[in-house]
Amino acid sequence: MAPLAPKSGDAIFASVERVNAELFTLTYGAMVRQLITDLEEVEEVNKQLDQMGYNIGIRLVDEFLAKSNVSRCVDFKETAEVIAKVGFKMFLGVTASVTNWDVEGTTCSIILEDNPLVDFVELPDTCQGLYYCNILSGVIRGSLEMVSMKTEVTWLRDMLRGDDVFELQVKLLKQIPEEYPYKDDE
């Protein structure tokens, strides 16, 4: 029998290696700063962050599945719960909650009340269109794509823009059936 999916990532979080939170926050900040300097347009920075997140996500999902002992999720609802409760805890040390399901069960919101990426950060007037944490949406998109779910992840609320929480909308576009790289009779 497959092991039961853990209800929270606390145990895994306690066992994985960690880095100093300030080092992490400032490193991410320095990276965003450099992207703004290099690309000049905040729209381009948003795209680049999303792409970087995607590249992280497609690799990170393997580590996640290897270490977290979660079993196959039966539906998208369970997937979202696992991301919020186990995934976020394991890699960011915070727990998110899942709400705002639509009737078909394909769209939901992941709510982050605490986000270590944005300590110290305040958006200046010159960066108003920036989604500072856009890397997170890319990570979710990338990792779900690797487990055959095509999703669209957008920011609905952002604390840096004056909202009270971070809200990520995750929309399931389609499930991609697993494709075998060769046919049986070849």
**Residue 8's CB: how many other CB atoms inside 10 A?**
12
Taking the complex as a whole, how short is the minimal distance between the CB of residue 124 and other proteins, in angstroms?
Answer: 6
Nearer to other proteins, 125 or 184 (CB): 125
Locate tokens 């100093």: which residue? 20
Taking the complex as a whole, how short is the minimal distance between the CB of residue 29 and other proteins, in angstroms?
Answer: 3
Taking the complex as a whole, how short is the minimal distance between the CB of residue 102 and other proteins, in angstroms?
Answer: 35
Residues engaged in binding other proteins (CB under 8 A): 26, 28-30, 32-33, 36, 120-125, 127
**CA neighbor of 49 nearest in space, from 124, 141, 151, 172:** 141
Nearer to other proteins, 26 or 146 (CB): 26
Alpha carbon dihedral 86, 92, 97, 102, in 10-degree steps, equals -90
Nearer to other proteins, 92 or 117 (CB): 117
* Token pair listed for 8: 């929270």
